[in-house]
């Protein structure tokens, strides 16, 4: 979050910037903005599909930002190598998850800056819900709360979109802005260079800047000026964003207070052209009052973030509870505003393994297999004694989940050996209505030295467990051949679940191979 500027000066600067054509390279994917959407009479209903964003994942991104800053002069500021390294880290995460990314460059103060824009395939591209955070720090510190916290939280929300298979009605776009600390330069450049037809497609812009302040408050941008102070309401439609965020915090018993659109963060260029905006904020250099402390705890008379714009804004300058709550609020708001794309009879979640979506091998750390462990891979065909033990083809595409994809010098080189191997899906939030079915393709192959102790098993695990497949071995040759299985998992409706796949070679020297492909959950 940038240093305060008097509101009159900020408005004047925006007017000048909006009229200026910046002579730098523009993005090839230009999304959008100006149609005003009427505010609803009430906040939207809770969206059951919104995931619980794992705090550990958000913190892992923050650790990466800290490492980048440490390796690059202690900061991630505009024009410094730490900023570009931060862009490259976020881009790598998004590319691997299946987003379409564009790095948009601009020039400020004689240095090249970068915005990173990421679009999730699908949804109505004339109805864009855009979520952004500035990625740069000040030059005096690594900027882990300001604004690694917002950047990491929206990154993990974007990755949750990919993991969950969310297919929203509206089009989702995420952005990481450069040079915010120097006057909203990156976001202003983006908005200035959008053709008016593209601006008109952005229906809502969500901004998250400093969402893990150590002495945190819970502030929501005051879209309808219901607090009756400050600069007045945002563009028509901003109230819907405010109400949606408040609905989430009310659901977890956390009170919120309004915060003014004072021009200190990247919503500024959007509201200046009439795009509805909103977001959350946990406080910067402002002092927490006794009233605030009675609402949220913490220390009255101390800054919300005592390390604001200082070298101590490091990985230790984060309130994990505030970060966790805000990350979940971001996901809730994105899901609610984008609308469900899973009407009855359509896919809730699927994975054909052509891209990495976050499956975790040996999730409990208890596996005993020594080789041939589960992984996402491009399998090579293997056979022994005329029996095909591993298929070199998948059900769709080139990749599947397989126990050791390599062929090696013989069929027994990379087959499953030594015990149990497990792999677990990312979290999947199931709808609370309808009939839910899990379908998948699979095979279990073995030679006649196998036994019933060898197996392939697929379970869906939430607060309870549904076993979708339990195939066991036998003392006979069994060639690899794709089979299909479907099972009703409606007992897990409304839960956040994971699919757990495990296989065992528990018969000594037996030769065992297994694979899974095209996993899908549908609602009817």
Q: Can you say whether residue 283 is alpha, beta or left, with left for phi > 0 and alpha for psi between -120 and 50 degrees?
A: left
Residues 6+ apart with CB under 8 A from 123: 167, 168, 169, 170, 171, 172, 338, 341
Using alpha carbons, select from 88, 54, 166, 178 the residue that is nearest to residue 120.
Answer: 166
Beta-bridge partner residues of 279? 207
Using alpha carbons, select from 136, 133, 116, 112 the residue that is nearest to residue 23.
Answer: 112
Q: Are 60 and 155 in contact (CB under 8 A)?
A: no
Strands (E), 425-464: 428-429, 436-446, 455-461
For residues 230 and 228, what is the distance between their CA atoms, to the nearest angstrom?
A: 7
**Which of helix, strand or coil describes residue 208?**
strand
For residues 223 and 237, what is the distance between their CA atoms, to the nearest angstrom?
A: 8
Q: Which tokens belong to 289?
A: 């009052």
Residues 6+ apart with CB under 8 A from 30: 193, 194, 195, 198
H/E element, 8: helix 7-18
Question: HEC string of 47-71?
Answer: CCCCCCCCHHHHHHHHHHHHHHHHH
Q: Which tokens belong to 71?
A: 């390796």
List % helix, strand, coil for the chain (3-state, nearest 5).
25, 30, 45
Active site residues: 180
Q: Are 172 and 123 in contact (CB under 8 A)?
A: yes
For residues 212 and 284, what is the distance between their CA atoms, to the nearest angstrom?
A: 10
Indicate the pairing of strand 170-177 with strand 124-134.
parallel
Q: Are 97 and 357 in contact (CB under 8 A)?
A: yes
User: Which backbone phi and psi does 332 adopt, to 5 degrees?
Assistant: -55, -45
For residues 348 and 289, what is the distance between their CA atoms, to the nearest angstrom?
A: 45
Strands (E), 109-221: 111-119, 124-134, 170-177, 202-208, 219-221
Q: Are 58 and 156 in contact (CB under 8 A)?
A: yes
């Amino acid at each position: 979050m940038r240093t305060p500027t008097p509101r009159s000066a900020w408005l004047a600067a925006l007017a000048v910037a909006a009229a200026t054509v910046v002579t730098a390279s523009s993005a090839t994917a230009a999304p959008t903005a100006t149609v005003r959407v009427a505010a609803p009479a009430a906040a939207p209903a809770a969206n059951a599909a919104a995931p619980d964003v794992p705090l550990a994942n958000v913190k892992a991104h923050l650790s990466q930002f800290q490492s980048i800053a440490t390796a690059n002069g202690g900061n991630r500021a505009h024009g410094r190598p730490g900023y570009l390294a931060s862009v490259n880290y976020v881009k790598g995460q998004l590319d691997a998850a299946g987003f379409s990314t564009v790095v948009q460059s601009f020039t400020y103060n004689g240095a090249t800056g970068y915005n990173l824009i990421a679009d999730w395939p699908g949804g109505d591209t004339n109805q864009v819900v855009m979520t952004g955070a500035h990625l740069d720090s000040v030059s005096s510190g690594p900027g882990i709360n300001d604004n690694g916290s917002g950047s990491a939280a929206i990154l993990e929300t974007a990755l949750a979109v990919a993991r969950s298979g969310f297919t929203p009605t509206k089009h989702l776009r995420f952005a990481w802005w450069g040079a915010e600390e120097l006057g909203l330069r990156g976001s202003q450049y983006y908005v200035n260079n959008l053709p008016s037809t593209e601006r008109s497609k952005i229906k809502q812009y969500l901004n998250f800047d400093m969402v893990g302040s150590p002495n945190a408050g819970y502030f929501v941008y005051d879209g309808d000026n219901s607090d009756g102070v400050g600069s007045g309401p945002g563009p028509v439609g901003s109230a819907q964003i405010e109400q949606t965020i408040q609905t989430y915090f009310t659901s977890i018993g956390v009170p919120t207070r309004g915060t003014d659109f004072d021009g200190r963060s990247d919503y500024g260029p959007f509201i200046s052209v009439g795009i509805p905006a909103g977001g959350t904020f946990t406080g910067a250099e402002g002092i927490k009052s006794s009233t605030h402390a009675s609402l949220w705890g913490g220390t009255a008379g101390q800054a919300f973030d005592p390390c604001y714009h200082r070298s101590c804004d490091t990985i230790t300058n984060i309130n994990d509870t505030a970060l966790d709550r805000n990350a979940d609020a971001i996901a809730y708001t994105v899901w609610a505003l984008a609308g469900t794309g899973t009407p009855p009879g359509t896919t809730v979640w699927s994975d054909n393994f052509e891209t990495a979506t976050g499956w975790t091998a040996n999730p409990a750390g208890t596996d005993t297999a020594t080789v041939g462990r589960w992984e996402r891979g491009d399998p090579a065909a293997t056979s022994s004694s005329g029996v095909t033990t591993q298929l070199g083809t998948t059900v769709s595409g080139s990749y599947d989940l397989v126990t050791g994809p390599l062929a090696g010098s013989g069929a027994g080189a990379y087959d499953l050996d030594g015990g149990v191997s497990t792999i677990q899906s990312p979290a999947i939030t199931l709808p609370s209505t309808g009939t839910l079915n899990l379908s998948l393709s699979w095979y279990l192959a073995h030679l006649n030295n196998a036994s019933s102790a060898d197996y392939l098993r697929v379970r869906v695990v939430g607060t309870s467990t549904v076993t979708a497949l339990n195939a066991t071995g036998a003392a006979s040759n069994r060639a690899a051949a794709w089979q299909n299985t479907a099972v009703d998992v409606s007992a897990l409706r409304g839960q956040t679940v994971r699919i757990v796949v495990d296989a065992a070679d528990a018969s000594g020297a037996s030769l065992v191979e297994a694979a899974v492909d095209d996993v899908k959950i549908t609602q009817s």
